[in-house]
Amino acid sequence: MIAAYLVLLIPLTGMAFFALAGHRADSGIWNIRLNAINLVATVWLAVNVLREGTILSSGKAFLVDPFNVYLIVLTAFVGLTTAIFSAPYMEHEKEIGRLNDARLKLYHAMYQGFMLSMYLVLTTNNMGILWVAMEGATLATVLLVSLYRTPESVEAAWKYFILCGVGIAQALFGTILLYYAAEQIGSEENALLWSVLYENAGKLNPEVLKIAFVFLLIGYGTKIGLVPLHNWLPDAHSEGPTPMSAVLSGLLLNDALYAVVRNKMLVDGATHSDMAGFLMMGFGLLSFLVGALFLHRQKDIKRLFSYSSIEHMGMMTFAFGIGGPLATFAALLHMTVHSLTKSAIFVTVGHASQLAGTQSMEKIRGLIKTQPEVGWGLLIGTVSIAGFPPFGVFTSEFLVLLATMHSYPWLAPLLLLGIGIAFAGLFRHIQPIVYGDRPEGQQPIKANLWPVMIHLGLVLWLGLAIPGFLADWFSQATILISGSAPL
């Protein structure tokens, strides 16, 4: 259990450290160090969970089980690699005069604050604290979205703030209803603890829980970026600094989905109906299709990939909605590979837009000729996210498709269609960007592509063969969520 406390304590001290010490020349390095230490702590935690099974802290305040432990490790990992990317990137932004010391101090403090709230979302056992941490994540990132203080970024941040704030208020109403239902069966003391709720799920009032789930889905769904609540997402991703886009896409969306799935487990236990699953499937499929279609009309490269995030989050929501062991396994895998791939892509996109001096896709051309590693990185990342074999995204999408054919065969064509549309939408824009001639004045920059290579290498590995311990993890999580083993 000490590991879990450590995981929370490190970013907390990090946040305090950055906030008090102000910006220093080595802030970026310290950010990397803190995240590295935390990765070690999370791995330690994971080993503990693997050995002993679910860990419940003594006051029942924290719960680490196979489902969230792998998300914790993923969070730490993506947090670390993004920090590695962010150090030289932010230094460059400061050199070209887009940022100053005060804002870099804010950036680093809030980076740690965001990581803290992510870990809190994942480890807490209390549904109320889950909400508080989720809202905390918005608060931590909202000033980062407007870090450049351009009119566009201020607008994006305002939209992000208002939409997510209002959206997530619905989730709190859902949580209150949940608490109300729990109080009726008399578990006054610990009525918001997930572990207690889960044990008594069968006794909870199904009518109240049904209503509660609608609010919870809408609330956390705003954060996942489910259509039609997605408007903030492309804006916030495109206007903030690129490392922020990477963690938002790679972590925040996942954690919001995690919150929905946790609640779905309670609701399913109480209602014994597919209502929650159907709702998730509907919203998921809609987001998937709308996200894919909107890929075609983007002009800004970061907006393009944020719509791709909407599309993939839609697919995961859909897969969790189907709910069988195979679909759940596929969704968990997809969560992992999407996080890895998407943060890698945002890293390369960050470099690409830095060397072109713009985010407008019409002006970024000939990346491979300018700086081959960035160009290839973007190309391979796009190939991977579009679902080409042998990358991991292919595996997970294939499994989702398989599960769909198994349970709802008539929805499979829609999924295939969406994948096709998304593929066309991505390549239509990316192809001229990576190939073609190098425009005047486009100079290579100092780029650190190690994070990209590690991420894409991992995704490739997951596509070729899922290592035994990871498969074990996923099956344990699948058993927890869906009740039976996948294979």
Partner 1 sequence: MNIEQLDFYTQAVLSLAALVGLTSFLMLGQGRLLRLIFVFAVQGFLLALTTAVAAYSLNIHHLYISAVLTLVLKVIVIPWMLRRLVLQMNMHRDVEALKNNSAVMLGGASLMVFSYYILHPIVQTSSIVMLNALAVSLSVMLLGMLLMISHRQAVAHVVGFMSIENGLFFAAIVATHGMPMVVELGVAFDVLVAAVLFGIFFFHIRTSIDSLDVDLLNRLSEVDK
Binding site for partner 1 (CB under 8 A): 126, 128-129, 131-133, 135-136, 139, 142-143, 146, 149-152, 154-159, 161-162, 165-166, 169-170, 172-173, 176-177, 179-180, 183-184, 191-192, 205, 207-208, 210-211, 234-235, 238-239, 294, 297
- For residue 314, the tally of other CB atoms under 10 A from its CB is 26
Q: Which is nearer to partner 1, 156 or 449 (CB)?
A: 156
- 416's CB contacts (< 8 A; 6+ apart) are 401
Smallest distance, Å, CB 56 to partner 1? Answer: 17
In sequence order, what E strands does 274-426 have? none
Q: Which is nearer to partner 1, 80 or 120 (CB)?
A: 120
Smallest distance, Å, CB 190 to partner 1? Answer: 8
Pull the structure tokens for residue 135. 């809202």
Q: Which is nearer to partner 1, 44 or 158 (CB)?
A: 158
Q: Which is nearer to partner 1, 100 or 150 (CB)?
A: 150
Helix or strand holding residue 55 (H, E): strand 55-56
Q: What is the dihedral of CA 232, 106, 336, 63, to 10 degrees?
A: -100
C-alpha 42, offset from chain centre = 17
Smallest distance, Å, CB 456 to partner 1? Answer: 30
SS3 content of the chain, % helix, strand, coil (to 5): 80, 0, 20
- For residue 198, the tally of other CB atoms under 10 A from its CB is 16
Smallest distance, Å, CB 192 to partner 1? Answer: 6
Smallest distance, Å, CB 117 to partner 1? Answer: 10
Smallest distance, Å, CB 360 to partner 1? Answer: 14
Q: Which is nearer to partner 1, 204 or 374 (CB)?
A: 204
Nearest C-alpha neighbor of 87 from the set 453, 454, 451: 451
Smallest distance, Å, CB 184 to partner 1? Answer: 7
d(CA 357, CA 294): 24
Q: Which is nearer to partner 1, 154 or 460 (CB)?
A: 154
Q: Which is nearer to partner 1, 70 or 131 (CB)?
A: 131
Q: Give DSSP secondary structure letters for 278-315.
A: HHHHHHHHHHHHHHHHHGGG--BHHHHHHHHHHHHHHH
Smallest distance, Å, CB 179 to partner 1? Answer: 5
Q: Which is nearer to partner 1, 297 or 406 (CB)?
A: 297
For 288, 305, 307, 314, the CA distances from 291, given in Å and listed in that order, are 5, 10, 5, 8
Q: Which is nearer to partner 1, 36 or 208 (CB)?
A: 208
d(CA 186, CA 55): 25
Q: Give DSSP secondary structure letters for 203-229.
A: GS-HHHHHHHHHHHHHHHHHHHT-TTS
Nearest C-alpha neighbor of 125 from the set 175, 60, 182: 60
**Cα Rg of the chain, angstroms:** 21
d(CA 374, CA 330): 30
Smallest distance, Å, CB 49 to partner 1? Answer: 24
